[in-house]
Chains A and B, each alone.
Chain A
Amino acid sequence: MRRVLLWTGVAALAFLLVAAIAPGLVAPADPLAIHPTQSFRAPSFAHLFGTDESGRDIFTRVIHGTGASLLIGISATAIGVGLALVFGLLAGLGPRWLDFGTTRFLEVLFAFPGLLLALLFIVVYGPGVMTSTIAVGLATAPGYARIIRSRVLVVRRAPYLEAATVLGRGWWSRLWRHLLPNVAGSLFVLLTLGIGQSIVWASSLSYLGLGAVPPAAEWGAMLSAGRTYLTSFWWMTFFPGLFIMISAVATTLVGRGLQQRTRHP
């Protein structure tokens, strides 16, 4: 059962990656081509996901938007985990006062829960793809930092580090050969789980008009454009949203699957 789910996730991710790298293979049409006569067509064989207000094929646009959307998710996660790594390692490895200071700092960041930190960032730097990506990264960093810190503390107290001391290994050797590799293992799982969540968050910001803006073929931007026609032409928002959900589910399946493997090998 668990295996099936893991491989379903891997297959879905592989499909998304192909769509991101070579969208022409999946959807050969031009995502920006306008056909004013064919606007607002409901889903059919000719237009699998229907068409938008300018008659553009939504299936083509969704496929061509994969790259941009995945890139936003990956960059945001990289920013979040990167920042978290700095704070988590400082707190977990540093002297006690540094741990205390970093932990308090993270506590303050936690008091801007959820999207709040991202919204604050956007107020300061204005909306856009760039700022919303950084904002999502910033907003997720404290959570990751806490996980990394506790992981470092666990590994730091592990008996195998003490065994290395007894063998006469120095601090750097223990750090480099034992501690960092064992922390990195769980980091990989975090990264996988994080990408899906970042895509969801970034698309939420786009939907609210604070991220990517139309006419870019990006899922969040398509959603934002379709918002006005929500009640009459549901397919304009439904399908980009479906793809956001698929990517989130896929990364979660893969991440959880890997988590299970590392926990019960």
Chain B
Amino acid sequence: MALPVGALPGSGARRSWAPWALLRLGGVAFVLWAVATVTFFAIRLIPGDPAEAILGGPGSQASAAALAQARADYGLDQPLVVQYLHYLGRMLRGDLGVSYALKQPVIAVVGENLGGTLLLAVVSLLVAAAIALALAAWSARGGRVASAVSWVLEVVAAAVPHFWLAISLILLFSTTLGWLPPVSVPGPLGLVLPVLTLALPLSGFLAQVMRESILDAMASPFVLAARARGEGSGGVFWRHALRHAAIPAIGLAGWAFGSLISGAVVVETIFARPGLGRSLLSAVQQRDVPLVLGVVLVVALGYMLVTTLTDLADRLVDPRLRAA
């Protein structure tokens, strides 16, 4: 039974923003709390004494007195519930603890490294979007051959592991051709290979969903109507098909964020770029629990931010969602 859409004509679109924003805000708060809680309790699963880890791991042969001191310093002698509440309180104040390995506040380490990763991720995203758009536009115009060629490119691009792509790019552009530096140097030149490494696989995924929805849109009756109105193929693409392709591409944003962060771990390590990914990896390797927690929380926050923006963009592009 279809409900009467537009029973109150035009009013739905403007009224539904406030509840949406409230709901969204509540969702973000909930997920962040849940992420903090899950990580807090996950860390308790680590075998061994946390106090020992603070003092440098099982190999450190710390004295009983030093262990007791460390427990008191970090509040580890308190009941678990108290520790948990203290932990949440510190999170709320933006205090993410002190890195075991670097002996620096986690928030400072994160702040130092955030910029590099953000720059890398944003530039990669833009490059990936540009490549995907070009591929999608080409196959929308070029018919079967272009469609098949871009399909193959998409599959291969999506199947290439980041590290292998990085190695191949270094071999080609640094070792063989000598055009670009093999490790990241400051400045735009050092950014080229890391960005390509992240952007190529991502563009494969993006192009695939965009191409499918562009082809769907191009075959739809409203495009026939537009052409019958005298619209040329360029007009059809920019005015009609592209908006329809944007919807699934925007929907991938949350996933793309995760892919970029995971890729950053590999890329920053290979190209020796300072950044969040590399900090995370070394923290994982050294079992630097506070730093791992800090990075995970920051990434979760970033993810929630991206999905909220995605949702917003979706509602701007697709007004049908606003009425719902």
Interface: B266 (CB within 8 A): yes
- Given the known inter-chain contacts A113-B254, A115-B262, A120-B296, please indicate yes or no for A223 contacting B163, CB distance below 8 A: yes
Contact status A200-B161, CB under 8 Å? yes
Q: Which of A1, A108, A114, A124 contacts B262 (CB 8 A)?
A: A114
Q: Which residues of A contact B175 (CB under 8 A)?
A: 231, 234
Contact status B299-A208, CB under 8 Å? no
Contact status A241-B161, CB under 8 Å? yes
Q: Which of A120, A123, A207 contacts B163 (CB 8 A)?
A: A207
Kindly state the separation between the CA atoms of A231 and B73 in the bound complex, as whole angstroms: 46
Q: Which of A1, A110, A241 contacts B144 (CB 8 A)?
A: A1
Interface: A60 (CB within 8 A): no
Kindly state the separation between the CA atoms of A248 and B255 in the bound complex, as whole angstroms: 19
Q: Which residues of A contact B254 (CB under 8 A)?
A: 110, 113
Contact status B265-A208, CB under 8 Å? yes
Range for the number of chain A residues in contact with chain B = 35 or more
Interface: B257 (CB within 8 A): yes
Which A124-155 residues sit within 8 Å CB-CB of chain B?
124-125, 143
- Given the known inter-chain contacts A113-B262, A119-B280, please indicate yes or no for A1 contacting B148, CB distance below 8 A: yes
Q: Which residues of B contact A230 (CB under 8 A)?
A: 167, 170
Interface: B109 (CB within 8 A): no
Q: Which residues of B contact A249 (CB under 8 A)?
A: 155-156, 159
Interface: A216 (CB within 8 A): no
Which B residue sits closest to A226, measured CB to CB? B167
Binds A, one of B6-14, B35-43, B222-230, B312-320: B35-43
Q: Which of A113, A114, A196, A204 contacts B159 (CB 8 A)?
A: A196
Give min CB distance, B96 to chain A, whole Å: 15
Q: Which of B155, B167, B287 contacts A123 (CB 8 A)?
A: B287
Contact status B161-A244, CB under 8 Å? yes
A-B contact count (CB 8 A): 130
Give min CB distance, A130 to chain B, whole Å: 15
Kindly state the separation between the CA atoms of A104 and B38 in the bound complex, as whole angstroms: 13
Q: Which of B160, B255, B281 contacts A245 (CB 8 A)?
A: B160
Which B residue sits closest to A232, measured CB to CB? B175
- Name A's interface SS: helix
Which A93-114 residues sit within 8 Å CB-CB of chain B?
104, 107-108, 110-114
Interface: A83 (CB within 8 A): no
Interface: A58 (CB within 8 A): no
Q: Which of B46, B162, B281, B300 contacts A112 (CB 8 A)?
A: B300
Interface: A252 (CB within 8 A): yes
Give min CB distance, A222 to chain B, whole Å: 12
Interface: A86 (CB within 8 A): no
Q: Which residues of B contact A108 (CB under 8 A)?
A: 31, 34-35, 38
Kindly state the separation between the CA atoms of A116 and B302 in the bound complex, as whole angstroms: 13
Most central of A110, A114, A210, A242 by chain B CB within 10 Å: A114
Give min CB distance, A43 to chain B, whole Å: 13
Q: Which residues of A contact B152 (CB under 8 A)?
A: 5
Interface: B261 (CB within 8 A): yes
Give min CB distance, A70 to chain B, whole Å: 15
Which A residue sits closest to B286, measured CB to CB? A123
Contact status B144-A122, CB under 8 Å? no
Q: Given known contacts A114-B260, A234-B167, what 11 new A-B pairs fall within 8 Å (CB)?
A: A5-B151, A112-B296, A113-B257, A115-B265, A207-B266, A208-B266, A209-B285, A231-B175, A238-B168, A244-B161, A252-B158
Instruction: List 8 tightest A-B contacts by C-beta distance, closest first.
Output: A113-B258, A114-B262, A241-B164, A114-B258, A248-B159, A115-B262, A108-B34, A111-B300
Could you tell me which A residues sit within 8 Å of B by CB distance? 1, 5, 104, 107-108, 110-116, 119-120, 122-125, 143, 196, 200, 203-204, 207-210, 223, 230-231, 234, 237-238, 241-242, 244-245, 248-249, 252-253, 256
